Each structure stands twice: as C-alpha cells, then as structure tokens.
Structure 1
Amino acid sequence: MISNNELKYYSSLLNKKYRKIENKFLIEGKKNVEEGLDSNYDCEKVFITRKFEETNPELIKKIRISKVQFEVLKSVEFQRISDTKAPQGIAAVLKNKSSVFSSSLIKDKVLVYLEDISDPGNLGTIIRNCDWFGINNILLSKESAEMYNPKVLRASMGSIFHLNVFEDITLKKITQLKISGYAFICSDTEGKDVFDFKLNDKIILFLSNESKGPSQELLSITDHKITIPRKGNADSLNVASASAIILAALTK
C-alpha cells in the first residue's frame, strides 16, 4: 500500500521545479506508458488503478515481465498523480534522459529549431509531427515550454520517446552548424512560398511563436525565409499546424 508521503512525492513531479530537482517526470495514459516502457528511458515505477488492471491484462503482463515496479492505487489516490480530468488509470515515473547537444555530432539532413514555442500543446504536437516526418533532432530555445511538461507529453502521443529533444539551446550554440554547411530556413509571413523552395543538402528549419514571429536575432542569421501561401482571410496559422505543412513540403 502506498503511503501518503509517497503520493505527495510522486504528485510533486507534476511541478516543473521538482521535475528538475529529481530528474524524473510523470507520463500518463496507456499509449504514453507503453511507449515509455519500450524506450531507452529508465522507468522507476508504474501506477495503475484496479479497473485498468482488470481491463488491460496484456499490458499488465508486459509490465510484470519487464520487472518494473508497479502499484495498484485507489481511484482517489491515482487522481493525485494525474494531470487530467478523466484519467485512463495508468501512469509511470521515468528518469530524465540527459541529452547533451554537440553540433559536431549532428549529421541529419533536416533539423528543427523551435523559438519561444511556449504553449505545451503546440510543442507536443510539433514533436509528434517531427516524428511523423522522420526528424531525429529538435532544438528548443530557453523560452520554449519544457519537454517533460505533462501537456507536452500528452500531445506528443509517445513521439517524445522516438527522437532527441535538446533544451535551452541558444542561437549562438548552433552557429557552428552554419559553418558546417547547414542553411538556416526561417518560417515567416514575408517568406517565399515553401512549395517553390529548393531544398539545400542540409537545413535547419526555424519555427517561432505565432503571435510574436521570429526574433530579430533569428532573422539576422537566416539564409532564407519561407511561408505557407494564404488563400483566405485568417491572420495566421497555428504553429503546430504550420509545422506539419512545412515539413511535408521540405521532406517530400
């Protein structure tokens, strides 16, 4: 039986401050937990409700075989570690994976840099889109949402475990990539039609906060600006939606 202190400890991981201190994070939902168990992240513990245990025998068998610790919680106890109004009844605690960015190790044809993508739902969706289009490395500015935010994890639908995400990457840190041949491509309303853009051998795609647009610092190092042509009257596209369209064009 789980103690109140243990519940308090694990529920603290819903807070960014304690995720940083403990180097752990919570994931929730059947798909996310399955993806986490199959990844190279270390899983400390799995929590399930009795109802989930009774209705998901195959996954419970998989957890038992993996020898990961798991504990059955009452619904009211599970709610304390849940970030959703209608939890599925399964969550897991994983240890952060330390990903150290080194420009010399990057060999991909297309990289994605996210500047000030502060909305967790947008970030999670972009991560999922990148996974779909075969992007292996994503770079986040300091102003972007935290990758282990519960809303980011939920929106990524497990894709967070399929690629590398590097946090707190300044524009200065990636200047070496330009020297090594990467073209810096920035999404901007004043850019060239992305469907007419001729792809360089290696590019970094920069996506920015949809309301603020790209920073002057970013624009000053940009080689090319691209945009999605507008046909209607909307002021802008949601950055997550835009990312899917642009990546489809650049990775075809």
Structure 2
Amino acid sequence: MKNNKKIISSITALALACGLSMSASAELYEGQSRAYKGVGYMAKYEVVSVNGYYTTVKITLKNTSKKKINHWAVALKKVPWKLHNFENCRIFNPHDVFSVYSSITDCGTNASLAPDECVSFCYTMEDRYGQAKLPERILAYSDLDKSNTVEELNTAARECCEYADYILRYYPDPATAMDDPFREGVYEKSQKGMKTGYTYEYKARGDEVINIAASQYSRGDISAYLGRTKINGVDCLFVQIRDDRTGKIGQYPNPTDGTAEWGKFTQN
C-alpha cells in the first residue's frame, strides 16, 4: 500500500523560471509525479518515498533547447523543516541565515547537459510537525537564461543591499559599524565590483551573502558593486547590479531606469 501524507494547505506550484505552475493536490504520496514544460526545459517532480517524518523527492530536468547547458541550479523557498541527504547535487548556501531560498546546484560532475539530455537529483525532507507540502515555487536557472529586466536588476540590488546591511548588525558599536567591515575586508571583492553566480565562491562573509542574493534574484552574466554614500546626511550602503550582456544597471536605494555610472551612486 502506498504511503500517504496529508497536506495542511493546498499545494500550489512547481515552477521553472519561465513561470510554470502545478494544480493543487490534497495528498503527497509515494509514486506521485507531474511533468512540466518550459522554454528550454522539461521538468518532473516525483515523490520517491514517504516514511514517517521523512519524504524523499526527485527532480529531473531535461534540456529541450538546441544549446548545451554548462551550469544549472534550482532555488526552493526555505521551509520550517530540514532538507538533507542530497544526492547528485549540492547546497549552494548551506550556512546562509539571510536568504529566503535554499539553492541546489550541480555537484560538479553533472553541470553540463547536452540537448535532450537529463539530470536527476534527490533530497529528503524531515518534517516532525506534519507541515510538509510541495513548495509553492521552484526557480530553475542555467547559463541559457535570458537577460534581466531593469526591474529584476533593481530587485536584485535591493536584496543584496539588505543582505549586506545584516552584516552591520554584527558590529556592537554603531559609531564604527559602517567603517569596520570595509576596513576588515568583509566586502573585499564587492567593494571593487565582482562577478556573481552559482559557480562563484567567495571567502569574505559580505561578498558571500551578496553573491548568494545576486545569484537568486538575477540571471546570466551579472556583476555586483557595493559602495557607500550619504542620503539626507546619513552614511549608508548602496548596491548596483549590472547585466554584463546588456550593460543595464540596477541600483538600491534609488532604483534606476537601467542607466547609471558603474561604481558611483546615482541620484534620480
């Protein structure tokens, strides 16, 4: 007999970046699966097993484009239950306490997908409170993703700035909280401008969180810059995100229309 697990609220979606959705279901059970079609992708979400507190799922991505994919990643909205036992994949942000997403990417040996080729990976959900449900959304990324809109660049800049601002809260003296991280190299690369993405790793804590945010809220060939400015006489951080394919730049605070001087705070 198949194992069944009740879902407290309706299951709404498994979605790729192209906006696919899944209709609601009242139960999550072993063997349940659905297929989805998107631009350049087909995807399948399958419940492998349901054993007490533990549910194992498998996601399969297929490259339906005519180009080779060199890197892929998916981002799942963080949940109150644990995810572990990752197979054929790895966690991009295992120690991240800021992000609203858990990002899963290739394990290093399965990053490339030729046309019509598939990759499958598994993980287990540990739910001790009976709240487990399918994610409302799963974002899929690859190097085939299109360029970003100005709105997406401004959103990525806002998220990066909020991540960077969290770092300041670790400094007990407000009088030096803005100076200390820069002096201590917390933003070693980002204060000069740096490349971002799931294939990049940075040791400095500030650079790490900015890379995490930029990777999850923007796609493709992206650079990030963190700087300091004064707004209404108050010293504050600002972030710019540049789509290196198009040259468009987003910013926060003061979102842009896509044009700005790189590395210099732009007033609207």
- Fold conserved between structures, TM > 0.5: no
The structure whose residues are more often helix, as a share, is 1
**TM score, norm. by length of structure 2:** 0.27
**TM score, norm. by length of structure 1:** 0.28
The structure whose residues are more often strand, as a share, is 2
